[in-house]
Amino acid sequence: MIDRSAPPLLEVRNLKQHFPVRRGAFGKVVGQVRAVDGISFDLWRGETLGLVGESGCGKSTTARTVLRLLEATAGMVWFDGEDVRAMGDERLRAFRRRAQFVFQDPFGSLNPRLSVGAMLEEVLHVHDLAKKNRRGRVVELLELVGLRPEHLDRYPHEFSGGQRQRLGIARALAVEPDFLVLDEPVSALDVSVQAQVVNLLDDLQQELGLTYLFIAHDLALVEHVSDRVAVMYLGQIVEVADARDIYDEPRHPYTRALLSAVPRPDPVNRDSRERIVLEGDVPSPVNPPTGCSFHPRCPHFGKDAQCKSEAPVLESTRQGHFAACHHQGTVVEIRG
C-alpha cells in the first residue's frame, strides 16, 4: 500500500525547462521554448503517477529534467530528501542507480552490436555490482522479465518488439533501482503484446516495491496503470487527481475534451456519448497564449476576460483533486 503520510520519494517544485531559440549566423537568442513551465508534483513510494498529454506538451522533457538528463532552468527536484540539482558527480551516480529510465523505442535504445548478456554485464560492471557472479545475476534478470537464459547470447535484432522492451526493462532493473521513469513504454507495441508488458510492469512493481512515473499519450492505458494521473498542456499540469477521479469527474475542460476524444471500443453507445471535438492545434510553446494557455481552444470559456488575462493556478476543490481552471466549479454543472 502507498503511505501518503510518509514523506514523498520524489518532490518536484515549480520546475522549468526553457530551451533558447537561436537565429542568424551568431546564434542570437530570439526566444524561449517553454517546454516545461513551472510544474510541481509529489510521488510517493510504491506509487504510479501517470503523466499524460499530447505531443509537445512537455511530458518527456519533464521526465528527463527530473532525472537530470537535462539541467533544469529553474525549480527544485528532491529525491528521498536530497536536492537532485545540487548533487555532485558522485551523488549523481548514486542517484542514477536508484532512478532509471525505460525508453519508448526499445530498438533505438539497445546497442545492436552487444549481445544481451554483454549488455547487461556492462551495466553491472559500470556500477560495480554483482562482482562474484555476473553471469548468474544476468540470468536472474532475464528470468525476472520473462525471458529465458538461452537468450543470453542473442543480439537485439533477434528479438520481437515486446521482447526488446523486456530487455529495456531488464537493463533498467539491473542496478536495483527504486524509481523507474517509463516513457511511453508500450506505445510502439501491438495491443496483444502491450498487455503482456503492462502486466509485467505491474508484477515487478508488486514484487520489488518500485515507484513509477508512467508517461503516455494513451489515456485508457494511463488510467489502467496509474494510482494518480497528471494531465499536461503546454508545459503545465492542468489537472492532477486519483486515476478513478480524473476519469469519473474531470474538472478541467481540456481533460474532459481529451477523455471524450479517446476512441472507445464500444460501438453500442457510440451515438449517445458526449463528444467534445476541440478546434485548432496546440499553440506553440515559444509564444504561449496569455492568461490560461488553453483559452483559445476552450469550448466553454474561450471568450471570458479573466481566462484571457489571468493564468489559473492548480487549486483543490476536494481531497487530492487539483485543477487549474478559473471555472472548474462551473464545468461540473455544465456536465449535468
Partner 1 sequence: MRESLLTVQDLRTYFFTDQGVAKAVDGVSFEVNEGETLGIVGESGCGKTVTSLSVLGLLPEPPARIMDGSSVRFLGDELVGADEARMRNLRGNEISMIFQEPMSSLNPVYSVGDQIAEVLRVHRRIGRKEARHEAVRLLDEVGIPAPDRRVDEYPHQLSGGMRQRVMIAMALSCEPKLLIADEPTTALDVTIQAQILELLEELSVNHGMAVLLITHDLGVVAEVCDRVVVMYAGQVIETGTVLEIFTEPTHPYTRGLLDSLPSVTDSGRRLNSISGTVPNPVHWPQGCRFRERCPEAGDGCEEEQVLVALETTGRSSRCFKTVPVNLTGAG
Residues forming contacts to partner 1 in the complex (CB under 8 A) are: 54-55, 160, 162-163, 190-196, 198-199, 202, 217-221, 223-225, 243-244, 247, 257-268, 270, 275, 277-282
Burial zone of 222 (CB within 10 Å; 0-12 exposed, 13-18 middle, 19+ buried): buried
> Based on CB atoms, which residue is closest to partner 1, 124 or 219?
219
Q: How far is the CB of 153 from partner 1 (least distance, A)?
A: 20
Q: Hey, what's the cell of 42?
A: 509529489
Q: How far is the CB of 175 from partner 1 (least distance, A)?
A: 27
Eight-class DSSP state of 228: E
Q: How far is the CB of 277 from partner 1 (least distance, A)?
A: 5
What is the rounded distance in angstroms from the CA atom of residue 239 to the CA atom of residue 255?
7
CB 205 within 8 A of CB 190: no
Q: How far is the CB of 81 from partner 1 (least distance, A)?
A: 31
> Based on CB atoms, which residue is closest to partner 1, 96 or 154?
154
What is the secondary structure of 29-89 as a DSSP string? EEEEEEEEEEEEEEE-TT-EEEEE--TTSSHHHHHHHHTTSS--SEEEEEETTEEGGG--H
Contacts for 73 with CB less than 8 Å, ≥ 6 apart? 16, 17, 18
Of 244, 254, 250, 240, the C-alpha closest to 321 is 240
Q: Hey, what's the cell of 168?
A: 529495456
What is the rounded distance in angstroms from the CA atom of residue 103 to the CA atom of residue 154?
21
> Based on CB atoms, which residue is closest to partner 1, 79 or 228?
228
Q: How far is the CB of 223 from partner 1 (least distance, A)?
A: 6
> Based on CB atoms, which residue is closest to partner 1, 36 or 225?
225
Q: How far is the CB of 95 from partner 1 (least distance, A)?
A: 31
> Based on CB atoms, which residue is closest to partner 1, 220 or 313?
220
> Based on CB atoms, which residue is closest to partner 1, 14 or 199?
199
Q: How far is the CB of 59 from partner 1 (least distance, A)?
A: 12
> Based on CB atoms, which residue is closest to partner 1, 175 or 198?
198
Look at the alpha carbons of 110, 111, 113, 117 in this order and tell me if their dihedral is positive or negative: negative
